[in-house]
């Protein structure tokens, strides 16, 4: 984008090279095996990507939503699943600790998370509470100078590999009485349940976190009891912006694959790119991708400039994943039988992107948020 800073342009180039060399060659393998590219993940720490929004005092880059979205797009072009694991670590865990934790907690956890020595996750959703995140039932009870936590979290990205979990719990009967804790696996503060096998994002590990009378010291509580709903909602804004960056990467990859295929594939004695219907498909895919980019980065830049709010984040989260799925399906159609097979990456990209219409808030929840904001001044009739 024309308004990227020199630092953001350098970051874009760094991520593009990393995606080509470290993610793309192994994306198909890890998708087939449902395995995690942990080697590439650790290298992200070595090159400074794991703390993209964290303070340099703890080893972070001190950048904003625009920079984080650049990373998501470039990595997402090569392997959306690995990028989802990156988002869960850098935005859901690291960014939350950076913004909400005490100085002592930041010093304890951020350096090892940012270097890649530790892997992090965030526990919000539960088996019966996905979209209704504020209704969660995992409970923390204060007993002396420590808490006992009981419950479980479902659909947790990075669960099987995480050393640190940033977990939301209930500490009172009121629905909004939620409290956050930073839990450590090596202190038996959480267990990992069965892995979850998925249609897409198969190279991103997903599992269950289980808490059975987990003993957690008061020092691991983030902030005060009952003040975590605000933290949760604020971090969801940057999560929704940045996850849309993965969908932008998917759209770009599908468009580029389609252009390449149209130049090489021949039918009826000539390249299919010479047929007007194919030209129409490619022209529309490219135009839609550029529209996505301008909308997304415009919102990310506004967010960095202080223009924040749930509705605008919900709009990009609603629009981009839906558009990327449409573009991916068009790419499959353009590739014909090859597109439906695993000979080309477009079918994997489509499967991966579908998660972005569900995770971080479903399309339907985004519509509710947007409509509520638009109609907030509507007075009920007497």
Q: CATH number of the domain that 131 lies in?
A: 2.40.110.10
Query: What's this model's pTM, rounded to 2 decimal places?
Result: 0.97
Over residues 191-203, mean pLDDT: 97
- Residue 239 designated active-site: yes
Over residues 322-334, mean pLDDT: 98
Within a 10 A sphere around the Cβ of 224, how many other Cβ atoms? 9
What is the DSSP track for 274-341?
GSHHHHHHHHHHHHHHHHHHHHHHHHHHHHHTT---HHHHHHHHHHHHHHHHHHHHHHHHHHTHHHHT
Does some domain include residue 379? no
Q: How confident is the model at residue 362, as a pLDDT? A: 97
Q: How confident is the model at residue 3, as a pLDDT? A: 83
Residues 152 and 179 in one domain: yes
Over residues 331-349, mean pLDDT: 97
Over residues 119-148, mean pLDDT: 96
Residues 299 and 348 in one domain: yes
Q: How far is CA 134 from CA 126, 137, 210, 300, in A?
A: 11, 9, 19, 26
Per residue in 161-170, pLDDT (tens digit) is: 999 999 999 9
Q: How confident is the model at residue 334, as a pLDDT? A: 98
Number of domains into which the chain is organized: 3
Within a 10 A sphere around the Cβ of 306, how many other Cβ atoms? 6
The Cα 123–Cα 153 span in angstroms is: 6
On the question of pLDDT at 176 being above 90, the answer is: no
Residues 219 and 274 in one domain: no
Does some domain include residue 380? no
Are 201 and 352 spatial neighbours (Cβ–Cβ below 8 Å)?
yes
Q: How confident is the model at residue 381, as a pLDDT? A: 60
Residues 212 and 78 in one domain: no
Over residues 145-174, mean pLDDT: 96
Residues 282 and 348 in one domain: yes
Residues with Cβ within 8 Å of 277's Cβ and at least 6 positions away in sequence, in order, are none
What is the DSSP track for 125-157?
-BTTBSS-GGG---EEEEETTEEEEEEEEEEEE
Residues 84 and 158 in one domain: no
pLDDT band with cut points at 50, 70 and 90 for residue 377: confident
Residues 109 and 138 in one domain: no
Does some domain include residue 92? yes
Residues 102 and 159 in one domain: no
Does some domain include residue 323? yes
Are 340 and 351 spatial neighbours (Cβ–Cβ below 8 Å)?
no
Q: How many helices (H) and strands (E) does the chain have?
A: 13, 10
Q: How confident is the model at residue 51, as a pLDDT? A: 98
Domain finish residue from 227, 256, 272: 227
Q: How far is CA 105 from CA 109, 188, 326, in A?
A: 6, 18, 43
Residues with Cβ within 8 Å of 310's Cβ and at least 6 positions away in sequence, in order, are 233, 236, 237, 369, 373
Residues 149 and 217 in one domain: yes
Per residue in 71-119, pLDDT (tens digit) is: 999 999 999 999 999 999 999 999 999 999 999 999 999 999 999 999 9
Q: How confident is the model at residue 174, as a pLDDT? A: 86
Over residues 327-346, mean pLDDT: 97
Q: How confident is the model at residue 328, as a pLDDT? A: 98
Residues 245 and 196 in one domain: no
Q: How confident is the model at residue 175, as a pLDDT? A: 80
Mean pLDDT of the chain: 97
Does some domain include residue 381? no
Q: CATH number of the domain that 304 lies in?
A: 1.20.140.10
pLDDT band with cut points at 50, 70 and 90 for residue 378: confident
Does some domain include residue 18? yes
3 state SS of 355: helix
* Domain span including residue 29: 6-118
pLDDT band with cut points at 50, 70 and 90 for residue 382: low
What is the DSSP track for 65-108?
HHHHHHHHHHHHHH-HHHHHHHHIIIIIIIIHHHHHS-HHHHHH
Domain finish residue from 118, 150, 167: 118
Does some domain include residue 382? no
Over residues 121-130, mean pLDDT: 96
The Cα 172–Cα 224 span in angstroms is: 12
Are 99 and 145 spatial neighbours (Cβ–Cβ below 8 Å)?
no
Residue 62: CA count within 13 A, CB half-sphere: 6
Q: CATH number of the domain that 66 lies in?
A: 1.10.540.10
On the question of pLDDT at 179 being above 60, the answer is: yes
Residues 138 and 46 in one domain: no
Q: How confident is the model at residue 141, as a pLDDT? A: 97
The Cα 39–Cα 18 span in angstroms is: 12
Residues 134 and 202 in one domain: yes
Over residues 365-379, mean pLDDT: 92
Does some domain include residue 28? yes
Domain finish residue from 174, 209, 227: 227
Token output for 43: 């290298």
Catalytic residue among 8, 22, 239, 347: 239
On the question of pLDDT at 121 being above 80, the answer is: yes
Percentage of residues in the chain having pLDDT higher than 90: 95
Q: How confident is the model at residue 379, as a pLDDT? A: 67
The Cα 277–Cα 273 span in angstroms is: 9
Burial profile 26-57: b = 16 or more Cβ within 10 angstroms, e = fewer: bbeebbeebebbeebbebbbeeebbbbbbeee
| In the block, residue with structure tokens 């389609």 | 258
């Amino acid at each position: 984008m024309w308004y990227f800073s020199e630092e953001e342009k350098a970051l874009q180039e760094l991520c593009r090279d990393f995606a080509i060399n470290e993610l793309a060659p192994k994306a198909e393998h890890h998708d087939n095996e449902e395995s995690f590219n942990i080697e590439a993940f650790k290298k992200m720490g070595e090159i400074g990507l794991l703390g993209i929004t964290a303070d340099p005092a703890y080893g972070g880059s001190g950048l904003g939503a625009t920079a984080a979205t650049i990373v998501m797009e470039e990595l997402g072009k090569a392997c959306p699943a690995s990028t989802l694991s990156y988002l869960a670590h850098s935005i859901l865990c690291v960014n939350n600790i950076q913004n909400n934790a005490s100085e002592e907690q930041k010093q304890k956890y951020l350096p090892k998370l940012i270097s890649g020595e530790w892997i992090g996750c965030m526990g919000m959703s539960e088996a019966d509470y996905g979209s209704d995140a504020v209704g969660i039932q995992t409970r923390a009870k204060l007993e002396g100078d420590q808490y006992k936590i009981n419950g479980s979290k479902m659909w947790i990205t990075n669960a099987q590999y995480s050393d640190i979990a940033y977990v939301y719990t209930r500490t009172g009967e009121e629905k909004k009485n939620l409290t956050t804790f930073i839990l450590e696996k090596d202190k038996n503060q959480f267990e990992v349940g069965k892995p979850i096998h998925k249609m897409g994002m198969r190279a991103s590990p997903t599992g269950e976190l289980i808490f059975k009378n987990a003993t957690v010291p008061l020092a691991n509580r983030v902030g005060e009891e009952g003040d975590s709903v605000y933290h949760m909602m604020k971090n969801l804004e940057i999560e929704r912006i940045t996850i849309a960056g993965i969908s932008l990467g998917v759209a770009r990859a599908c468009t580029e694959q389609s252009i390449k295929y149209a130049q090489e594939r021949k039918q009826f004695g000539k390249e299919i790119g010479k047929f007007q219907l194919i030209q129409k498909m490619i022209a529309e895919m490219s135009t839609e991708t550029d529209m996505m980019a301008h909308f997304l980065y415009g919102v990310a830049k506004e967010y960095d400039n202080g223009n924040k709010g749930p509705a605008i984040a919900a709009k990009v989260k609603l629009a981009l994943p839906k558009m990327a799925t449409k573009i991916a399906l068009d790419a499959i159609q353009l590739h014909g039988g090859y597109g439906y097979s695993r000979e080309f990456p477009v079918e994997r990209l489509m499967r991966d992107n579908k998660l972005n219409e569900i995770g971080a808030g479903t399309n339907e929840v985004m519509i509710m948020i947007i409509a509520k904001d638009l109609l907030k001044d509507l007075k009920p009739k007497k």
